[in-house]
Structure 1
């Protein structure tokens, strides 16, 4: 008979993970970026755009919006989301939450003034 290790079970850890990672809606992202206003655009790349926005917490966030027209980018979204949620490194900008709907996929990251993603 195997002895169970002390600590939280895998199921409990998974529930805590899900609760800690609350999704935001398309309308929240739209409001945070002032309807994706160009004045909030931080940068654009081959896989999408990054906007500066403010969610209800009144804290500036960087909102990375992948280009949904690009099939490869769409396929990578879930994988990238999982990786970004679990990676911890001093040089890595932490992901706050995500948005995933019929209209948009987005990562909400901590905004780093004069920094880069």
Structure 2
């Protein structure tokens, strides 16, 4: 995925744009939805990718929340804040975190977490 471009720059040319921007997020949303069905009350749900593009990250999270809301399941999930790293103090999604190669000296990663009520 695109999160490892720092170590594998040639991967940029091996991934098809339509796959990364359209098909992969749909697959990731299905996996997130399926995983959410197996979390018991009091349990946690973590969605993580090795990518830094919003189509695979924030947009998947937003679609998941929208679908949970449409299915009247949103009341089951409580965003579980991730401690702030002072990089983005105005974070509108405190339960989400993106690690960036040029800031965190790591590959690119994204994570979002919730607790089931």
Q: TM-score, normalised by structure 2?
A: 0.30
- Higher strand proportion: 1
- Higher helix proportion: 2
Larger radius of gyration: 1
Per chain length, whose mean CA-contact separation is higher, i.e. which structure has more relative contact order (CA < 8 Å, sep 6+)?
Answer: 2
